[in-house]
Amino acid sequence: MRNLDLKQATITLLLMCVLTLVVMACSQESSDPGSVPGKAPETARPAKPVQPSILLITLDTTRADRLGIETDQADTPNLETLAGRGVYFNQAYSVTPTTLPSHASMLTGLYPADHHVRENGRVIDKQIELLQALLQGRGYTTAAFVSGFPLAGQFGLSRGFDHYDDAFVGDAAERPATATTDLALDWLLGKASPLFMWVHYFDPHEPYEPPEPFLSRYPRDPYLGEIAYMDQQLGRLVMAFEEHNQGRPWKIIVVGDHGEGLGDHGETLHGNLLYQGTMRVPLIVAGSGIEAGNSERAVSVRQVFDTVLDWSGESRAGGLFGDESGPVLAEALKPYMQYGWQPQFMAVLDGIKVISSGDTEIYDVRNDPGESNNLDSQIEPDAVLWDAIEAYSIRALAVQTEKQQALSQEALDKLASLGYVGVSGGSKIRDDAPNPRDMVHLFHDMDIGAGLFIRQDYAAAIPVFTRILEADPYNFMATLRLAVAYSVTDNEDQAQKLFDRARAIDSSSIDLRHYQAMHYLKNKQWDLAQPLFESVLTESPDRIPALAGLAQVYTRQGELKKALSQLEKIVKIKESPGLEWARMGQLRMTLHDTKGAIRAFEAARKMLEDQFTFNLELGILYMADRRFNEAATSLDRVSSQHPAYAMALFKRAQTSVLLSEGDRNNRVRKAWLQADETTRPLIENERLFRDIPFR
C-alpha cells in the first residue's frame, strides 16, 4: 500500500463531498413531489448536505499484527479488501486495554480520565454526551448490536440508540459473530437513511473456541481461527450495508478496542500492561469519498467520535482526517487500582512511544514493534510527550473515588466468566509499589485467585492468595480476599490477622469496611457490624449486600422499622428482589401491619413463583384480613414437608368451617390426626370446631 499525504487526502475528500452534495441536492430537487416540473423555485434553497449512513464495527481483543493486512499467517480477506479500498491506520492505539472504557472513549471522544469509566462493570455518567445521541439529534436512526457482557446496556452505552441489542442467549456472557450479524442484518431491512449502526464482535476474546471449519484450520492457534471467523461474518455485514446504501453516501469504520498479550512481555491476556500487543489496534476507514491509502500517523480510538460527527455534518478538527496533532495517550490502571502497583501511562508521537510506570521506557515502535530495545538512556524524546503524560496522569489520579455501582451477583458472575473480576481496591500508590512489568509472574495467580473468589470457591482460593502474598506482601486485593476466604471457612484467627493487615495497607478502603462488616455479621457481632455497614452505605448508598447486611443487623437489634427501610431501598434497585419482599412481609407481620405484610408477600410470591415458601404466613394474614377464599388457596399450597404443616392444617380447617365448605368435618379431623404439640391444644379449645366430631 502506498503512503498517502493526509492533508492532500482531506482536500480531495472535501472536493468530492462538495461534488457529491451538488449532485445529490440536484437529484433530490428533481424528485421532490412538491416542486413544479419545468419551473425553477423562486428562492434557491441552501443545498442540504446529504448525510452518509455510517457503520461502526468494533473488534474485541484484536491485535493489529494478527490480521492478513500485516501477516501472512492470518486469513482475513474481508478486512484486507476493506483496507485496500479505504485508509488503513497502522499506528492506531487503544486508550486503555479494557473493553468498556475503550468503547466509552470511542463514543465520547474522551480519554478514560475524562469520562471516568476506568474498568468494566462501571456505568458511564448520564451527563456525558454520547456520539449516538448527538447523531439522533442530527436526524440519524441509531442501532447497536453488541456481543459481550462488558457492553451490556446496563453500563450506559445504550443511551441514544433507538435499538440496542444486547440480548445474549440464556445466561451466556457473549454471543458469536453469526448471531450478532444475523440480528444486525434483520434490523437493517427497510430502514430509512441516514443510519448509524454499531456492531461489536467479541469472538477473539478468550476462551479461543472458533467454530468449524476455523478450528481445524488453526489447530495450534485458535486465536487466529476466531479472527478468521469474525472476518467472515464482518464480510456479510459490510456487503449488506453497502447494498442497503446503494445510490447514497456511506462510510464504514472498523476499529479494535484493544489487543491481546499472547505472551509478549509476559502478558497472556490484556488489561495489565501497555505494550503494543494490547495497545496497537486495527483501524480501517472506507466509504464514499475516501481515497485508498495508508497512514502512519499515530491516532487514538477516541478519534472515532470526532470522525463520525464530522461525517454527519458537524465540522470537527479532532477526527482521523482532521488537523489536530499531538501525542496519543493511554493508561493501564488496573494494577494500580486493584493491587496498589505503579500507575502506567503512555504517549506516542511520530513513532516514538514513552511508557511511564514509576520509571521510563522509550521505544521506536515503527522499527522495534516488539519493544525489545528500551532507548531510555539513548534518546531524549520531544518534551511534548512528557508534558502530555504529566498533565494526563494528574487528571487520571485526581479522580479518587468513583461512584460504586450496584452490580447484581448475576452481573458479577457474567463479568467473572469473561475473566473480569475487578472490585475496587486501594487506589493509592504503595510506598513499595512495584512496576507492573516486573510482576508478570503473578498475573496468572491473580486471575485464577480472583476467579475462584468470585465463584465463592474460598477453600481453593486460599493457597493461591497465600502464594501471591509471599511474592507481594502488601498486595491489598490479595490480603483482603484472603481475609474473606478465611472468614467464610471459619478460620477466625487468620481472618482477623489479615483484616488487620489490610487495614494497615489501606484503612480508607470501602471494600475493607464492607468485608469486615460481613465478617462481624457472620460472627453475630451486630454492634461491631452496624457502624461499618452504615459507613459503607454513606459512601455507596446502592450497595445491595451492605443494605441486606444492615437490614439483618437491625432486625437482630430489634430495630424492625430501620430494617424495613433498608429492604425498601433494595427492592427499588435490585432485579427481581423476591426474597427481600418476603423478608419485608415477615417484618411487617411482626409489626402487626396485616395489609402491608400481605402486599409484600404477594409481591414475593409473584417473583419467586414455585420457590415461594411463605404460603402459611400469607394464609394466616388473609384470615386476619377476613379474605377466607384467598386464605384457603394459600394454605392449600403449604407443602406437607413444611415444618409447621400441622399449623397449616389447623388454619385450613378453621377456614373451611368459616367458609362452610362441604368437607369441613374431614379437614378438622385431618388437622386433629396430624396435630403436633402446638396445634393439639388449639384444636381442642377451638370454638369453631365445637359441633364437629373430630376425635
Q: How far is the CB of 258 from Zn ion (least distance, A)?
A: 5
Segment interacting with Zn ion, rule: CB under 5 A, options 48-56, 91-99, 330-338, 513-521: 91-99
Sequence length of the chain is 695
Segment interacting with Zn ion, rule: CB under 5 A, options 6-14, 93-101, 108-116, 317-325: 93-101
- DSSP-H helix ranges across 287-420: 303-311, 334-339, 383-398, 409-417
Q: Is residue 62 a contact point for Zn ion (CB under 5 A)?
A: no
Q: How far is the CB of 151 from Zn ion (least distance, A)?
A: 8
Nearer residue to Zn ion within complex by CB, 283 or 571 = 283
Nearer residue to Zn ion within complex by CB, 58 or 509 = 58
Nearer residue to Zn ion within complex by CB, 199 or 598 = 199
Among 257, 331, 445, 506, binds Zn ion (CB under 5 A): 257
Q: Is residue 566 a contact point for Zn ion (CB under 5 A)?
A: no
Q: Could you report how far apart the first and last alpha carbons of the chain are, in Å? A: 99
Segment interacting with Zn ion, rule: CB under 5 A, options 57-65, 120-128, 180-188, 640-648: 57-65
Segment interacting with Zn ion, rule: CB under 5 A, options 99-107, 296-304, 366-374, 638-646: 99-107
Q: What is the rounded CA–CA span in Å between residue 577 and residue 229?
A: 40
Nearer residue to Zn ion within complex by CB, 60 or 119 = 60
541 CB burial (10 A radius; 0-12, 13-18, 19+) = middle
**Block residue for cell numbers 399450597:** 637
Q: How far is the CB of 257 from Zn ion (least distance, A)?
A: 4
Q: How far is the CB of 150 from Zn ion (least distance, A)?
A: 7
Nearer residue to Zn ion within complex by CB, 146 or 462 = 146
Q: Which H or E run contains 58?
A: strand 53-59
641 CB burial (10 A radius; 0-12, 13-18, 19+) = exposed
Q: How far is the CB of 613 from Zn ion (least distance, A)?
A: 42
Q: How far is the CB of 99 from Zn ion (least distance, A)?
A: 3
Nearer residue to Zn ion within complex by CB, 53 or 417 = 417
Nearer residue to Zn ion within complex by CB, 276 or 555 = 276
User: What 3-state class would DSSP assign to 111?
Assistant: coil
Nearer residue to Zn ion within complex by CB, 60 or 165 = 60
Segment interacting with Zn ion, rule: CB under 5 A, options 54-62, 284-292, 359-367, 660-668: 54-62
Segment interacting with Zn ion, rule: CB under 5 A, options 70-78, 92-100, 106-114, 180-188: 92-100
**Is residue 504 within 8 Å of residue 510, measured between CB atoms?**
no
626 sits in the region (left: phi over 0; alpha: psi -120 to 50; else beta) called: left
Q: How far is the CB of 43 from Zn ion (least distance, A)?
A: 52
**Is residue 370 within 8 Å of residue 264, measured between CB atoms?**
yes
Q: How far is the CB of 418 from Zn ion (least distance, A)?
A: 9
**Block residue for cell numbers 456492531:** 199
Nearer residue to Zn ion within complex by CB, 103 or 481 = 103
Q: What is the rounded CA–CA span in Å between residue 146 and residue 309?
A: 21
- Which residue sits closest to Zn ion, CB atoms considered? 99
Q: How far is the CB of 175 from Zn ion (least distance, A)?
A: 15
Q: Is residue 99 a contact point for Zn ion (CB under 5 A)?
A: yes
Strand order in the sheet with 141-145: 163-165, 141-145, 195-201, 53-59, 250-256, 283-287, 87-89, 293-295
Q: How far is the CB of 256 from Zn ion (least distance, A)?
A: 8
DSSP 8-state class, residue 135? H
Q: How far is the CB of 200 from Zn ion (least distance, A)?
A: 9
Segment interacting with Zn ion, rule: CB under 5 A, options 28-36, 241-249, 250-258, 430-438: 250-258
**Block residue for cell numbers 457529491:** 20
Q: What is the rounded CA–CA span in Å between residue 601 and residue 588?
A: 10
Nearer residue to Zn ion within complex by CB, 270 or 569 = 270
Q: Which H or E run contains 295?
A: strand 293-295
Residue 56 has phi, psi (to 5 degrees) of: -105, 120
Q: How far is the CB of 94 from Zn ion (least distance, A)?
A: 9
**Alpha-carbon dihedral angle through residues 199, 203, 206, 212, given to the nearest 10 degrees:** 170
Segment interacting with Zn ion, rule: CB under 5 A, options 98-106, 322-330, 453-461, 595-603: 98-106
Nearer residue to Zn ion within complex by CB, 106 or 671 = 106
**Is residue 594 within 8 Å of residue 618, measured between CB atoms?**
no
Q: What is the rounded CA–CA span in Å between residue 57 and residue 234?
A: 8
Q: What is the rounded CA–CA span in Å between residue 100 and residue 477?
A: 22
User: What 3-state class would DSSP assign to 639?
Assistant: coil
> Mask: binding to Zn ion, 194-213, rule CB under 5 A, as x and -?
--------------------
Nearer residue to Zn ion within complex by CB, 203 or 361 = 203
Q: How far is the CB of 136 from Zn ion (least distance, A)?
A: 25
Q: Is residue 60 a contact point for Zn ion (CB under 5 A)?
A: yes
How many secondary structure helices (H) and strands (E) does the chain include? Answer: 28, 15
Cα dist from 13 to 19, 46, 306, 688, whole Å = 10, 21, 16, 92
Q: Is residue 174 a contact point for Zn ion (CB under 5 A)?
A: no
Segment interacting with Zn ion, rule: CB under 5 A, options 257-265, 273-281, 302-310, 346-354: 257-265
Q: Which H or E run contains 243?
A: helix 222-244
Nearer residue to Zn ion within complex by CB, 60 or 306 = 60
Residues 6+ apart with CB under 8 A from 474: 340, 430, 432, 505
Q: Which H or E run contains 59?
A: strand 53-59
Nearer residue to Zn ion within complex by CB, 226 or 257 = 257
Q: How far is the CB of 165 from Zn ion (least distance, A)?
A: 18
**Residue 386 CA from chain centroid, whole number:** 33
User: Binders of Zn ion: how many residues, by CB under 5 A?
Assistant: 3
Segment interacting with Zn ion, rule: CB under 5 A, options 94-102, 417-425, 466-474, 556-564: 94-102
Chain positions contacting Zn ion, by CB under 5 A:
60, 99, 257
